Chain A
Amino acid sequence: MESVLGRYKNLIWLVAVLFLQVLGLAMQVKRGASAGQDTRLIRVWVVGAVSPLERGLVWIQNSAGDIWHNYFYLRGVRAENRQLREQIEQMRLEQVRLSEDAAQAHRLQKLLAFKEQFIAKTVAAQVIGSSGMDSSRVVYIDKGENVGIKRDMAVITADGIVGKVLLVYPTVSEVLLINDPTSGVGVLLGNSRLQGVLVGGANGEVTLNGVMSDEQVPMGENVVTSGGDQIFPKGLSVGVVSKVGQGKDLFLNIRIKPAANLSQLEEVLVLLEKQERQAVADDRLPVRAADVLAQRLPSVPDKPAASDPNAATGTVGASKPGSNSALGTAKPASNASTGLKPGATTTPPQTSKTAANGQASGSVSVRPAGTSPATAGTAKAVAKPTPSDAATVGTKPVAIQPEPAITQQKPQSPPPVQPDSPPPDPNRPQ
């Protein structure tokens, strides 16, 4: 017996070690999703051994890179600086326009009782390692429980989503990338608003599942998160459609090119906190479109108030075709409405293009971007309507109901001259 054991000692060892590993593997497979938590303690050892090396090397690499780029390699910095300044100016102007649109969108969301998820708190982290294998697409970041990271938190970059936190260690976290085969993200197509599930493939490709084959999905269409997975807030950029083909059964096989460069990640943001709250309309300075028009058009001398005040909203738009409609396109056409400084680069008149279709009452809240309450002091006399104020549009006088909230409107430039109407002259006899 001893001779047999001695003779086959190596083989017995091999079988025993393999058997133990197969047994452990089978137990993990049987436990399924909870196996990740069960093996957490074992993984901590290796991660704890490897991550300090990775962290140190990343630090050395970054330090050397910083010294080189910040103190030696400064070629073209001046020109780049100038370009960036110009870009900032352009973006400021863009911001003015977007903030106007955003405010209007918030008002509409409020009307529809939407709930929004806001990114309340994030932490920046450095990618310090990967799994090192092609079949498992995870990366390690240099922040863990010490900064409040928890399992299933979303990880993003400025370009788009990256993945979610899978395991958290004291100073390191493991992030499952969206191109891992076990990953799944709820997404929707930007234009068609079709919903689907984003999954990773064996070779690192990212596909969108769940879109029926009779749908039309154009190449290059943006894909954003839907918020349905309760991990990523709605509206984060995911990528663009790069290939569309016939998939299994009745579904399309849609290949997505991720917006974030998943193969060369350096810094990421972990969403520590999300807030879900009712959309709040930004109506600090509600001004009706008709009131804006009233400031720009020739005024009407005092006369008895109109007998039918309800006729106001309907007649403004109807009586001046081609101009600002009270039902949505409140068009503050001058710099007074956009709040731009006099010396700022001029832009085309900003129109609130998202018409307030939901505001059937016609009292469109127009808040000129950049107009702050502090600027309202000198404008009270100009902007505040009285019961006797009325706007003459075309030939039909329109009565404007008094609105105390518009007292903070401050026009910063002269009203535009109407080509087919005389200049405003309050003293002119009617």
Chain B
Amino acid sequence: MPITYTSGEQVEVYRFSIPVTIGVPLLALFLQAFIPLRFPRFAVYVDLPLLVTIFFAMARRNPISGLLTGAVIGLAQDMLGRNPIGIYGIAKTVVGYGASSLGVKLDVENPGARLLVTLGFYLIHSAVYFTVARGLVNMTVSWSWFHGMLAGLTNAVLGVMLYFVLDKFKQRT
């Protein structure tokens, strides 16, 4: 039974087996690279590695673990693309840190909270990405609130369903 306490001392901390720790991010990366071949708009609106980062960070509730998870997944995502390595790494590091820090202080077990948290972190991720890509790398990127909200909601809805599946792999410490 998931604990929905908001006290820092009493929240449940989860861990995951090594196959899940490695396999789920890898699967997310694979699907993120493969699905757009059949559904081109998928890459525009969905960021599966981000959802996995948020999930692991919130479940472990350890900021260091969360930011390292985000950094590794983000860097791996960078390596699949053409852009300089580190843009997604920085963005997901921030998200991993934030999600795990939030998980310590707030109840993030119910679907409503997860929906809002995922939406919020998607926007944070997009903002960090936009800032780094434009400010540091001088890439041509554009910001659109409409697109951001639409993609954020899509990710949030998908995230709630994904978290429900990934909850099965949780192991209590």
Contacts and interface: CB of A to CB of B under 8 A. Distances in A.
A26 interface: yes
A137 B80 CA distance: 10
B29 A28 contact: no
A21 B79 CA distance: 13
Residues of B in contact with A, size category: 35 or more
B140 A181 contact: yes
Contacts of B71: 17, 21
A57 B34 contact: yes
B43 interface: yes
B90 A130 contact: no
A95 interface: no
Interface string B127-162: 000001100111111100000000000000000000
A219 interface: no
A264 B34 CA distance: 11
A46 B76 contact: yes
Given A10-B101, A22-B136, A131-B81, A50 B43 contact: no
Given A22-B90, A264-B38, A133 B79 contact: no
Contacts of A127: 37
Interface string B90-124: 10011001000100000000000000000000000
A46 B82 contact: no
Interface stretch (A37-45, A310-318, A332-340): A37-45
Contacts of A139: 37
B162 to A, nearest CB: 16
Interface in A262-286: 263-266
B8 interface: no
B47 to A, nearest CB: 8
A129 B93 contact: no
B63 A166 contact: no
Nearest to B75: A21
A405 interface: no
Given A130-B43, A180-B82, A14 B67 contact: yes
A200 to B, nearest CB: 10
Interface in A13-47: 13-14, 17-18, 21-22, 24-26, 28-29, 35, 39, 42-43, 45-47
A1 interface: no
Contacts of A10: 63-64, 67, 97, 101
A26 B137 CA distance: 8
A50 B33 contact: yes
B80 A17 contact: no
B97 to A, nearest CB: 5
Contacts of B84: 25, 28-29, 35, 39
A264 B40 contact: yes
Contacts of A46: 29, 76, 79-80
B90 A18 contact: yes
A133 B141 CA distance: 13
A263 B40 contact: yes
Contact of B132 (A9, A25, A176): A25
Contacts of A128: 34, 37
B85 A132 contact: no
A175 to B, nearest CB: 10
Interface in A177-203: 180-182, 201-203
B3 to A, nearest CB: 22
B36 to A, nearest CB: 5
A232 interface: no
Interface string A237-267: 0000000000000000000000000011110
Given A14-B97, A21-B93, A127-B37, A132 B137 contact: no
A205 B102 CA distance: 39
A132 B68 contact: no
Nearest to A54: B34
A202 B142 contact: yes
Contacts of A140: 33
Contacts of B87: 25
A42 B79 contact: yes
Contacts of A25: 84-87, 90, 132, 136-137
Nearest to A26: B136
A64 interface: no
Contacts of A181: 139-140
Contacts of B29: 46, 50, 132
Contacts of B33: 50, 54, 129-132, 140
B11 interface: no
B77 A132 contact: yes
Given A22-B136, A28-B84, A131-B33, A13 B79 contact: no
Nearest to B140: A202
B26 interface: yes
Given A10-B97, A14-B67, A54-B30, A29 B136 contact: yes
Given A50-B30, A132-B81, 6 more contacts: A10-B63, A14-B93, A39-B85, A47-B80, A50-B26, A140-B33
12 contacts: A9-B64, A21-B93, A22-B86, A26-B136, A29-B84, A29-B137, A39-B84, A53-B30, A54-B33, A129-B33, A132-B36, A203-B142
Interface of A: 9-10, 13-14, 17-18, 21-22, 24-26, 28-29, 35, 39, 42-43, 45-47, 49-50, 53-54, 57, 127-140, 166, 174, 176, 180-182, 201-203, 263-266
